[in-house]
């Protein structure tokens, strides 16, 4: 049997497509009758955009969403014909590509509407657009006072179709009373915009608002479609929301979570490497740059060929980060370097060159999750996943079947 990694360096990430399909099915069931939009921007949060998009669609997603026009083009080049929403308004230059490749643009300015209209006219087709309203996040989107004029401009353009009104939640992943009140306020502002449009005969065919956190914590935000990113990859947006997901009546019968959903969200990505060198060092030795950490006692120290260029932050060791070797959590023995880490395996550890090292995933009875990393680093799972570098090969696995190197 060959090595599990495709490159010359024994460092790789496994992406479980069966877990993607499972998570899509669960989120679709959670939102029903609302549709599921799988957010696959940033190379599907570092998992591989084409493979994940296909698996999400197989699991029940009706839409895909991207941040960049180039990401939508990559999906089309791969033969994926599902609706693809571009989440930010494309530039005038990019709008022509959006129309030519059959992507769905978001618009929220007069200039965006004009660019979409011109591109649609040039191609000779009708383009469905989604109008985004700013309900309080203040990043992008039309001000509430401008929504009517933007939609009127869309309606007046002969080759544009007003297909949806949408917004984005800012603090749905936070559970304190102030944050919940803010999210409720965003729901009201979106409803007010919809009502103002309906009064003019411009009621949108679709309204969508909920991200992963909103879909879990605010059933009223599910509306016609939910847009799920981090949850699609098996990570609850914040641990405080996990009980809400488990208790959601949409996933249970007679109060019990049903068969396939019993596991709820399944982690999709595992990050692995292998020991490249082993040495014993005396107490007081200080491995790696800066000599920041002194060994408390004589210990076996393993070198592992993965570093901050691969997505292991330089601060991970100092912050208390660990890896799994032999099913045990072992702390880093010094500063993370660009290409390698050193691990304190303990005084009596039996470690050999070639032993598997798990940075994210399971090994024996041990596990390290994306949330574990986020807790150590004081960040969120989204950042942990998207920082895993492109020089780490992704290996596609499917329900324990044969591995397939992703061609990228």
Active site (catalytic) residues: 41, 289
Structure tokens belonging to residue 243: 């009980």
C-alpha to C-alpha distance for 364 and 325, rounded to whole angstroms: 10
Helix (H, G, I), strand (E, B) or coil at 164: strand
β-strand pairing of 225-228 with 35-39 = parallel
C-alpha to C-alpha distance for 73 and 52, rounded to whole angstroms: 15
Cα–Cα nearest to 198, from 141, 147, 137 = 147
CA distances from 268 to 162, 232, 235, 254, 398 (A): 36, 8, 9, 29, 10
Structure tokens belonging to residue 92: 């005038």
C-alpha to C-alpha distance for 242 and 291, rounded to whole angstroms: 39
Question: Which residue bears the tokens 């292998």?
Answer: 274
Cα atoms in the Cβ-side hemisphere of radius 13 Å centred on 387: 19
């Amino acid at each position: 049997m060959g090595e599990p990694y495709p490159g010359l360096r024994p460092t790789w990430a496994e992406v479980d497509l069966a877990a993607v399909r499972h998570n899509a099915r669960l989120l679709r069931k959670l939102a029903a009758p609302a549709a599921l939009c799988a957010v696959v921007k940033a190379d599907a949060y570092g998992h591989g955009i084409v493979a994940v998009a296909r698996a999400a669609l197989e699991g029940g997603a009706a839409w895909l969403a991207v941040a960049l026009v180039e990401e939508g083009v990559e999906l089309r080049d791969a033969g994926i014909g599902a609706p693809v929403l571009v989440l930010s308004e494309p530039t005038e230059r990019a709008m022509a590509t959006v129309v030519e490749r059959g992507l769905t643009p978001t618009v929220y300015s007069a200039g965006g509407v004009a660019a979409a209209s011109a591109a649609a006219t040039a191609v000779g087709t009708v383009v469905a657009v989604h109008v985004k309203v700013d309900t309080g996040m203040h990043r992008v989107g039309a001000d509430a006072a401008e929504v009517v004029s933007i939609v009127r401009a869309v309606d007046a353009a002969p080759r544009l179709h007003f297909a949806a009104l949408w917004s984005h939640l800012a603090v749905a992943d936070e559970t304190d009373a102030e944050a919940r009140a803010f999210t409720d306020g965003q729901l009201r502002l979106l409803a007010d915009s919809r009502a103002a449009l309906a009064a003019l005969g411009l009621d949108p065919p679709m309204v969508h608002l909920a991200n992963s956190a909103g879909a879990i914590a605010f059933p009223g935000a599910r509306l016609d479609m939910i847009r799920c990113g981090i949850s699609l990859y098996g990570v609850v947006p914040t641990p405080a929301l996990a009980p809400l997901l488990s208790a959601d009546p949409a996933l249970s019968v007679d109060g019990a979570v049903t068969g396939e959903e019993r596991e709820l969200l399944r982690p999709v990505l595992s990050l692995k490497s292998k020991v490249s060198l082993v040495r014993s060092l005396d107490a007081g030795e200080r491995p790696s740059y800066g000599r920041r950490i002194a060994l408390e006692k004589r210990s076996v120290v393993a070198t592992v060929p993965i570093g901050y260029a691969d997505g292991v932050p330089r601060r991970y060791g100092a912050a208390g980060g660990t890896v799994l070797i032999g099913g045990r959590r072992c702390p880093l023995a010094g500063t993370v370097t660009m290409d390698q880490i050193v691990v304190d395996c303990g005084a009596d550890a039996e470690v050999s060159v070639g032993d598997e090292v798990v940075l994210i995933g399971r090994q024996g009875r041990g596990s390290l999750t994306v949330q574990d990393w986020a807790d150590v680093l004081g960040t969120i799972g989204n950042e942990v996943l998207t920082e895993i570098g492109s020089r780490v090969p992704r290996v596609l696995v499917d329900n324990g079947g044969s591995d397939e190197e992703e061609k990228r």
